[in-house]
Structure 1
Amino acid sequence: MPAPVCLIENSPVGELRVQQEALQVLAEMHQPVVVVAVAGLYRTGKSYLMNKLAGKRSGFSLGSTVQSHTKGIWMWCVPHPRRAGHTLVLLDTEGLGDVEKGNTKNDAWIFALAVLLSSTLVYNSMKTIDHFALEQLHYVTELTERIKVKAEGGGGRQEGQDSAEFVSFFPAFVWAVRDFKLQLELDGHEISEDEYLEYALKRREGQPEKLDLPKKFLRQYFPSRKCFVFNCPAKGCDLPRLEELPEEALSREFLEQAHRFCHHIYQHAGTKALPGGHVLTGTMLGNLAVTYVDAIRSGAVPCMESAVLALAQIENLAAVGEAVAVYEEQLAREATLPTETMLELLELHAQCEQEALRAFMARAFKDEEQQYQQQLKDRLDSKHAELCRRNEQASLDRCSAVLQELSQELEERICEGSYSVPGGYQRLLDDQREMVERYWLVPGKGIMAAEVLQQFLKSKETVVQAILKADQSLTDRQREIEAERARAEAAELEAQLREEMQAKTEQLLQDQERSHQEHVQQLTARMEEDRRQMLAEQQRVLDLKLQEQERLLWEGFQREAAQLQLQQHMQNLRVAMSRGRSSESCVVC
């Protein structure tokens, strides 16, 4: 993308709408995405950080007046500088707290969408992390009013909802403090930026709970936190003019801090994934944005579980279509019809089916009832039947053409009456046997060779019998013997055809069992991989909650630490149950 485009428009009346141009960009992006969103008050230099991450001097609009330039959410997709095969998606959000906007709910929705769509959220603020800065982060306290995890129940915060469910959806949190002028010291000792953030978020005994809510919710829903402080970029703190200033005009400390910030994002910002570890592509990110914005526009509370299920339905349908396309492409490359044997055809189908299944498994997710895998199997079975028909028809056409060419001289002699003479019957038999021998020597006839030959010989029986009866050189006894011999040869060919048909049926049954086992095998492997990712995600959330529990204990908040410990115990039970289920066998199709 040469420049950013608007992903979610925020109209003057506060109506959100996903833009088709951005969706088209995302629809063509099939790589995993690392999504970094920036949020914060307007006129605080958010766009500069996004441009730095894009490796550009300009792109996202900075502006240099008291008006907010960015409206809605703008998107810039660039190749990830450190991860091959990944795309870095940068989302620059409309500045919060714009005095020209009268509807504060609109800010809350913009912030909620930044949280829902990103894998790393950068919150940008000025000067220091103090009471005022935390007050401006009140959007965090409203997140659970504007987002729900489970589909059941009404809107808003759900009673007894485990914060781990939000943590599994929410991004990592990075606080960027701009124009920072203080010394990073505490009680006379130098501290890190992360320690400064944790000190600022430390709960104070006796402080009114209302004042502590932003801290509480930030810690509860964003246990993965990081902090960066930035000095004034230049003399006079020309933050609004950063885009215009040459790099040599910026302070060395500021450039080093910006470099460390970008390095951290490149190295540690994770791919955008759904609970359970399913990684999002650009296409899926676009569908997710549409699902959330449609919910907001309808007046509903965006539900993460419903969004995931809707996304799964879209992706699984697309996965079926993509898998069928892979089958057809593979078949077009490999197939040369007709095949000489049925086994050769079945091996070709098995190879194409295996590639199709791999493509399906790579894209599909949450197909817990194997509904879409069954759809794929039904379509592949239909493709298999069609392939068999095409192969038979190709063989029939080829054999018919060969017989027509080889029998042309024989037909001419019959029409000329060359065999309607004494001894003509034997000459006819000799010529017909020679034609049949030449027929079997022709390559590439396929699986219908015997059947087509049988039909051809049957079509000539009347003529052959007529010539037999008219041959005056034969006695009545010889005619009976010849008729019996002809019937025996026909019966032998009929028996051969029945054997071939029985063998073909057995091969088809064996192929059905092979196909079934292939589906079971790939599904089992996928379920094991999904379970492994789910357990890893649960363990990650547990580790983060354990860290927060230790912090609370250290700060003396035993009651909240005990609540976290109870949640952790329940989560441990879920993990144990999931591991117990991993030994169960699966049945499909």
Structure 2
Amino acid sequence: MASETHMPAPVCLIENTNGKLAVNPEALKILSAITQPLVVVAIVGLYRTGKSYLMNKLAGKTKGFSLGSTVQSHTKGIWMWCMPHPEKADHTLVLLDTEGLGDVEKGDNQNDSWIFALAILLSSTFVYNSMGTINQQAMDQLHYVTEMTDRIRAKSSPGANEIEDSADFIRFFPDFVWTLRDFSLDLEANGQRITADEYLENSLKLRKVDDQKDKDFNFPRLCIRKFFPQKKCFTFDRPTHGKNLGQLETLHDDELDSDFVQKATVFCSYIFNSSKVKTLPGGIKVNGPRLENLVLTYINAISSGGLPCMENAVLALAQIENSAAVKKAIALYDEQMAQKVQLPTETVQELLALHRASEKEAIKVFMKNSFKDVDHLFQMELVAQLEKKEEDICTQNMKASSDRCSALLKDIFNPLEEDIKQGIYSKPGGYHLFIRKRQELEKQYRQEPRKGIQSEEILRTYLESKEAVTETILQIDQTLTEKEKEIEEQRMKAESAEAAKKMLEEMQIKNQQMMEQKEKRYEEILQQVTEKADKEKAQLMAERDRVLNLKLQEQARFLNEGFKQESEKLHKEIQYLQNDMRRKRCIIS
């Protein structure tokens, strides 16, 4: 089980110094150690609107994120607080508190836009916090939404069209929650009680366009509806009155307005139960290291003067993780082979079976830990490394066998060689004595265990090297006739030829086994690749289905409101998605 992360207090994730954004290495180190899936909740809004207080409530603390009690903005950059998820076992909740937007002391609207964009890119639930009601002023303050396409690119291809981009933004973007603070109106419309969600939907309705003023009125509403089809709204009364507002960190719930406490509880419950795991296209769940790499990729793009590209960020993340997946797979292979293999093995089949079993597990590990392996480059790298491992272990096996057999031959045949030097067999009848002794020693050698696959080859080579000695002993033996010597010479040549033929056959069998092993490897890899591809495509289709359903709902709303032009725009997007889904379903089938 992945270990839980307990942070006693928040740390700065992205520092904002003199308008320049930089990543805090301490925060990255914390993220790199979190292997659990992350539910990432980010909050943005104007400065001094109580964002940090809500985040502390989510953390279950009265203190943590800096609240401040003056008109100055306290939070700078983006601060992070990681903790065990209160409702989802084996998940980590990551809270991101951002510096207040519109700080007059900062005087840098572009910097605000980047903070806003980063909060969207990094979160799975995006909370926009504002004061009072949803009126035109509140919409004007949310102009950062209208700048999204100027700050973020969905795809790296410059030829990506607007229809495609719209769908891709939704696939990347978080769920949207609007929290209205110090809200004092009654939630009614046309004399009927309405919910906060209905109030938000009513506030996002468009006007008939007669002039530029109507276009300006509609534009932020269109952007919210386009980028965030899944929306939620919460309204909060003022938590307390007078000077107590500056002392919220020290007040207990029973000292606060009861309605505020109740709504804050409902808000926290919704966030805990409805916020999803941060997920990238293809169903890739984000853990600590993945979020770490996303942060680095986005900040590097901003620092270099470019636009954060969501597709590029995923591909960069895939490069890092696929490279790590290859290393992890090879490490597992090495570990399993070290545990299983004792060189030399008696047969090639035995070694190849062990290799294949370890290779199969290594490929499983790679498939589990890799994603978006474009053109299967990392998979091919893994296969190449495994093939090299196979060659190396076979070479090591042959050497281990050769070394073992050579040492055995030296020990077993050393007495015979000493007798030859002493001339024991250089006498009448010595040849048959020599042959008998040599056959006894050959039998003894063959009875020795774990000689490996080079056993007969090393013996044959050894005997060949002693043919001249054998021939000399044969010729010296005066008890043999010339005819008997000739027959014996023919027999020795026949034995040598038979041994060479047998070795050639064995080599052919080994090569055949190696080829069969390679074919099995590719069959297994193809099967695993196909299964993984089918799973990823099915996940992509599920994402497309979700986006399509959200767009169909939004199209119905535009039709009900009488905005035919906006409905037709959405219809084109829906057609694009439907055609894309049909193409992908054909590929899958």
Same-fold call, TM cutoff 0.5: yes
Q: Deviations over 1:83-119 (max 9, x none)?
A: 4443332222111122210111100110011111112
Change (3 A) 1:63 1:334: farther
Change (3 A) 1:72 1:453: same
1:514–1:158 Cα change, 3 Å: closer
| Superimposed CA distance per residue, residues 466-509 of structure 1 (whole angstroms, 9 cap, x where no aligned partner) | 22223333333333333333222222222221121111111111
Residue aligning to 2:81 = 76
Aligned mate of 2:150, from 145, 160, 164: 145
Counterpart for residue 173 of structure 2: 170
Q: Do the aligned partners of residues 432 and 253 (structure 1) sit closer, same or farther apart at CA in structure 2, a change above 3 Å counting?
A: farther
- Contact 1:288–1:307 under 8 Å retained in 2: yes
1:533 CA displacement? 1.1
Once the two structures are superposed, what CA deviation does each residue of 1:97-151 show, in whole Å capped at 9, x if it has no partner? 2221011110011001111111211112223333332222111111112122233
- Consecutive unaligned residues of structure 2, counting only runs of 5 or more, are 1-5
Matched-pair contact (CA < 8 Å) for 1:148–1:158: no
Q: Distance in 2 between matches of 1:559 and 1:309?
A: 36
1:512 Cα offset (Å) = 1.3
Is residue 2:4 matched to residue 1:29? Answer: no
1:201-350 correspondence runs (5 A): 201-205=204-208, 208-234=214-240, 236=242, 238-350=244-356
Report the equivalent of 1:530: 536
Long gaps (5+) in structure 1: 584-589
Residue 586 (structure 1) aligns with: none
Q: Distance in 1 between matches of 2:352 and 2:138?
A: 68
Deviation at 1:575, TM superposition (A): 0.8
Distance 2:72 2:339 in 1: 59
Q: Distance in 1 between matches of 2:499 and 2:260?
A: 91
Structure 1 residue corresponding to 2:109, chosen from 95, 99, 104: 104
Residue 351 of structure 1 corresponds to which residue in structure 2? 357
CA RMSD of aligned residues (A): 2.4
Q: Is 1:370 matched up with 2:372?
A: no
| Matching of residue 66 in structure 1 with residue 71 in structure 2 | yes
Deviation readout 1:283-321 (Å, 9 max, x if unpaired): 222222222222212222222233333333333333323
Structure-1 separation of matches of 2:244 and 2:361: 57
Q: CA deviation at 1:252?
A: 4.5
Q: CA deviation digits over 1:436-461, x for unaligned, max 9?
A: 22222222222111112212222222
- Residue type of the alignment partner of 1:122: V
Could you tell me how far 1:181 is from its partner in structure 2?
Answer: 3.2
Gap change, CA 1:447 and 1:134, over 3 Å in 2 = same
CA distance in 2, matches of 1:338, 1:44: 73
Are the aligned partners of 1:45 and 1:240 in contact in 2 as well (CA < 8 Å)?
no
- Which residue pairs with 1:461 in the alignment? 467
Match of 1:554 among 560, 578, 582: 560
Deviation string for 1:537-577 (max 9, x for gaps)? Answer: 11110111111112222222222122212221221111111
Q: Which residue is 1:587 aligned to? A: none
- Matching residue of 1:487: 493
SS at match of 1:142: helix
SS at match of 2:280: coil
The 1:160/1:247 distance shift into structure 2, 3 A limit, reads: closer
* Residue 114 of structure 1, aligned match among 107, 113, 119: 119
Q: Distance in 2 between matches of 1:82 and 1:339?
A: 53
Distance 2:60 2:453 in 1: 62
Say whether the 8 Å CA contact 2:164–2:573 is kept in structure 1.
no
**Distance in 1 between residues matched to 2:388 and 2:406, nearest whole Å:** 27
Q: Distance in 2 between matches of 1:51 and 1:424?
A: 100
Q: Distance in 2 between matches of 1:399 and 1:326?
A: 31
Q: Would the aligned equivalents of 1:320 and 1:376 in 2 still touch at CA under 8 Å?
A: yes
For residues 367-423 of structure 1, give each alpha carbon's deviation from its aligned partner in whole angstroms, at most 9, with x where no partner exists.
Answer: 232222222222221111111111111222222233233233333333443333433
* SS of equivalent to 1:302: coil
Return the match for 2:51 from 28, 46, 49. 46
**Residues of 2 paired with 1:440 and 1:239: CA distance?**
93
Moved more, 338-347 or 261-270: 261-270
Query: Are the structure 2 counterparts of residues 37 and 491 from structure 1 closer, same or farther at C-alpha, using a change threshold of 3 Å?
Result: same
Does residue 386 of structure 1 match 2:392?
yes
What corresponds to 2:418 in structure 1?
412
Instruction: Give the TM-score normalised by the residue count of structure 2.
Output: 0.92
**Could you say which residue in structure 1 is the equivalent of 2:198?**
195
Structure 1 Cα separation of the partners of residues 444 and 91 of structure 2: 60
CA distance in 1, matches of 2:454, 2:572: 71
1:144/1:382 CA distance change after superposition, 3 Å? same
- How many residues in Structure 1 have an aligned counterpart in Structure 2? 580
Match of 1:572 among 564, 578, 582: 578
- The DSSP-based 3-state class of the residue aligned with 2:276 is coil
Change (3 A) 1:459 1:243: farther
CA distance in 2 between partners of 1:417 and 1:17 (Å): 88
* Cα contact 2:120–2:174 (8 A) shared by 1: yes
1:120, 1:173 within 8 Å by CA — same for their partners in 2?
A: yes
Give the whole-Å Cα distance in 2 for the aligned partners of 1:76 and 1:350. 45
Distance 1:418 1:78 in 2: 86
**1:173 Cα offset (Å):** 0.6
Equivalent residue number for residue 22 of structure 2: 17
User: Which residue type is aligned with residue 393 of structure 1?
Assistant: K
User: What is the alpha-carbon distance in structure 1 between the residues aligned to residue 411 and residue 21 of structure 2?
Assistant: 72
**Mean Cα deviation higher: 42-51 or 504-513:** 42-51
Cα distance in 2 for partners of 1:239, 1:347 equals: 72
Whole-angstrom distance in 2 between the partners of 1:195 and 1:424: 112
Aligned equivalent of 1:136: 141
The answer for the alignment partner of 2:445 in structure 1 is 439
* Structure 1 residues 67 and 434, CA gap change in structure 2 (3 angstroms): farther
SS at structure 2 position matched to 1:317: helix
Q: Secondary structure at the match of 1:177?
A: strand
Q: Tell me whether 18-27 or 571-580 shows the greater mean CA deviation.
A: 18-27
Question: Could you tell me which amino acid in structure 2 is paired with residue 198 of structure 1?
Answer: E
CA deviation string 1:51-76 (max 9, x = no partner): 33334443332233322222111222
Q: Distance in 1 between matches of 2:459 and 2:440?
A: 13
Deviations 1:327-376 (A, max 9, x none): 22232232222222111222222222222222222233322322222222
